[in-house]
Amino acid sequence: MKKGTEIFSLKGKTALVTGATGHLGVSIAFILAEAGAKVLINSRSAKRSDLLVDKLNANGYTAEGAAFDITSSQEVAAFATRLQGQPLHILVNNAYVGGAGSVECAESEAYAASYDVTMIAAHRLLKSLLPNLRLATRQCSDASVINLASMYALVSPDQRIYESSNVVNPPFYGAAKAALLQWTRYAACEFGKEGIRINAISPGPFPSLAVQEANPSFVEALAAKVPMERIGATEEIQGPILFLASSAASFVNGSNLVVDGGWTCW
């Protein structure tokens, strides 16, 4: 690493990325590994976790599988036991599952499920892994928790660009992500004094490759709503992640870094 960029080095650090095998998760895992961290790859699927671990290791990086369900208190506790006595310098709460549909289409149960995997899981992981985060701060005076929120935590989706109300970005998604932003601020105030920084990133339009291939007209409509007139590429989440994970952001706490090409500026 060249002189002047050491501030972004994660050498000797350990990071846990939830939802690491997803669309943005893979890019997040790669940038943390490229910067020198040992990355723990979380997924509910051991097979998918192992495939990404193998890919990272094949590129000369350090990664280990961490297959468990973040919505299960028992499985999170088991993982925390496995990590007992080891510092955790970086925790990225990226996992999400959910459906689609407007308020009229949505079932009430979808709100609880979305909140569980977004908000309650972030709380569950932070509380369970506090001893590990505190070990990290004793080791290098810094630990970083990064919560992946969304532009839809800040604004509502434009339902006019969707083919029908059944496929619109759902209300429970934005509501859960908005709650995550408030929890980020709360946790930042509680743990900042210990050197545990809690921040959020709110990605904008980063449609998956499957969506891009299956529905190019929808992608064009998304791009038309962005001041930069394009959608985001997955690697464009990497710089913001690396910044917040590293000592370059040592005095950044309780922030929400919006990565949306200007979508929320209109």
Distance (Å, whole) CA 11 – CA 135: 16
Q: Does 169 map to a domain?
A: yes
Three-class SS of the chain: CCCCCHHHCCCCCEEEECCCCCCCHHHHHHHHHHCCCEEEEEECCHHHHHHHHHHHHHCCCEEEEEECCCCCHHHHHHHHHHCCCCCCCEEEECCCCCCCCCCCCCCHHHHHHHHHHHHHHHHHHHHHHHHHHHHHHHHHCCEEEEEECCHHHCCCCCHHHCCCCCCCCCHHHHHHHHHHHHHHHHHHHHHHHHCEEEEEEEECCCCCHHHHHHCHHHHHHHHHCCCCCCCCCHHHHHHHHHHHHCHHHCCCCCCEEEECCCHHHC
Q: Mean pLDDT across the chain, nearest whole number?
A: 97
129 has pLDDT over 80: yes
1 has pLDDT over 50: no
Please choose, from the candidates 229, 259, 241, 70, the residue with its C-alpha nearest in 3D space to the C-alpha of residue 153. 259
Q: Does 264 map to a domain?
A: no
Q: Does 266 map to a domain?
A: no
Domain CATH code at residue 211: 3.40.50.720
Q: Does 164 map to a domain?
A: yes
Q: Which pLDDT does position 26 carry in this prediction?
A: 98
Percent of the chain exceeding pLDDT 70 equals: 99
- What is the average per-residue pLDDT within 40-46? 98
CB contact set of 47 (below 8 Å; sequence gap of 6+): none
Q: Does 1 map to a domain?
A: no
Q: Does 162 map to a domain?
A: yes
pTM of the entire predicted model: 0.97
Please, which pLDDT band fits residue 5 given cuts at 50, 70 and 90? confident
- Per the structure, how many domains does the chain have? 1
Q: Which two tokens stand for residue 93?
A: 């709460």
CB contact set of 13 (below 8 Å; sequence gap of 6+): 36, 37, 38, 89, 90, 136, 140
Please, which pLDDT band fits residue 4 given cuts at 50, 70 and 90? confident
Range of the domain at 114: 6-259
Q: Does 265 map to a domain?
A: no
- What is the average per-residue pLDDT within 26-32? 98
Other C-beta atoms lying within 10 Å of the C-beta of residue 133: 23
**How do residues 139-196 score in pLDDT, each as one tens digit?**
999 999 999 999 999 999 999 999 999 999 999 999 999 999 999 999 999 999 999 9
